[in-house]
Amino acid sequence: MSQGLWIFLLVWIFALGAVIGSFLNVVIYRLPRGRSIIYPPSHCPSCDQPIAWYDNIPIVSWFLLRGKCRHCRQPISVRYPLIEATTAVLVTAVFWASCLPGRQLPHSAPFGPLWTASIFGHLGETTATPSQLGWLAIALRTVEYSLLLCTLLASTVIVGERQAVPARIFLPMWILGLVIWLILPWLPEFGLQQTADPIEAAFGAGASLAAAALVVFLAAWFLGTDVRRGFAPALYSASLLLGAPRTLVVGTGALFAYTVGRILGHWFAGLGRIPLVGWLLAACALVAWLW
Ligand SMILES: [Zn+2]
């Protein structure tokens, strides 16, 4: 791919990520308060005036308005552009990492040959051409990890606000998880149907959930109920997208980082305040980038 096209793609994905971040702001504000995330359209929480599209451009509008509502001049929290920028960076980084040679789909290894086709590498007996399968795999990997990181980011902010994480927030991950384990292996576009085996797929999904259950059990053993808020449903949902090995790594990694964070929190107060699900987000972001 030419360098110009590559930069255009990255800018486009970054903008898309910022728009998703804007939607996350709506989810974070409305879902714990039991409101619809679709209706009504965005309005100022202070004066209730609807926000025009030109005042609702992710990241940019906050700076143009100097962090104040156009109508009532009340300050708009810096959290809004911050979440938009964070989401944009995470989604772009996930896409970038998915384009690196030799990357496998998160839930592939080590259970069976369902997903042994690496992105640019060996394809085995497949009906798809390398570039087709490559782009499909890159797109799927990007969607999987983006959905995972966005859900965890929203959960972290909700827990940080001392609100309960609504179960509905994990529904998209369960839907994608079921598609991955039950439907995708049989699609001829992925060229892998000759190796698809229902028992193997069920075993892979079951092993992932069992890995999550083990980490949740460890968390319950070592940490208080209040600390674990949102962690168990987040990890069970994540496990369907990650597969068993990565679930064990991010789960125990989050427990370990949380404990270290609490100890260092005596000196750096900010570290001690990061919730467990926030450390899970950090662990998943690291795994998405490196693995
Ligand atoms: Zn206002």
Q: Distance, CA 51 to ligand 1 centroid (Å)? A: 9
> In this predicted model, what pLDDT tens digit does every residue of 61-96 receive, in sequence order?
999 999 999 999 999 999 999 999 999 999 999 999
What is the distance in A from the centroid of ligand 1 to the CA of 158?
23
CA of 244 to the centre of ligand 1 (A): 47
Ligand 1: centre distance to CA 68 (Å): 8
44 in helix, strand or coil? coil
Average pLDDT on 10-38 reads 94
The C-alpha atoms of residue 143 and residue 223 are separated, in whole angstroms, by 32
For residue 126, the model assigns a pLDDT of 43
Q: How far does the centroid of ligand 1 lie from the alpha carbon of residue 83, in Å? A: 20
Which secondary structure element, helix H or strand E, spans residue 258, and what is its range?
A: helix 244-264
The amino acid occupying position 240 is: L
Ligand 1 mean position, distance from CA 63 (Å): 16
Distance 70 CA to ligand 1 centre (A): 7
Q: Give residue 77 CA to ligand 1 midpoint distance, Å.
A: 12
Please give the structure tokens belonging to residue 192: 């892998």
Q: Are the beta carbons of 56 and 49 closer than 8 angstroms?
A: no
Q: 46 C-alpha to center of ligand 1: Å?
A: 5
Q: What are 185's two structure tokens? A: 């292996």
Span of 99-108, 165-174, 234-243 with lowest mean pLDDT: 99-108
Q: How far is the CA of 47 from the centre of ligand 1 (A)?
A: 4
Distance 87 CA to ligand 1 centre (A): 25
> How far does residue 156's CA lie from ligand 1's centre (Å)?
26
Q: How many whole angstroms from 150 Cα to the centroid of ligand 1? A: 27
The alpha carbon of 42 and the centre of ligand 1 are apart by a number of angstroms equal to 11
In 3D space, the residue among 182, 177, 185, 183 whose CA is nearest the CA of residue 234 turns out to be 177
As a whole number, the mean pLDDT across the chain is: 85
pLDDT in tens, 191-202: 444 445 667 777
Residue showing tokens 């989050």: 254
The whole-number pLDDT of residue 132 equals 55
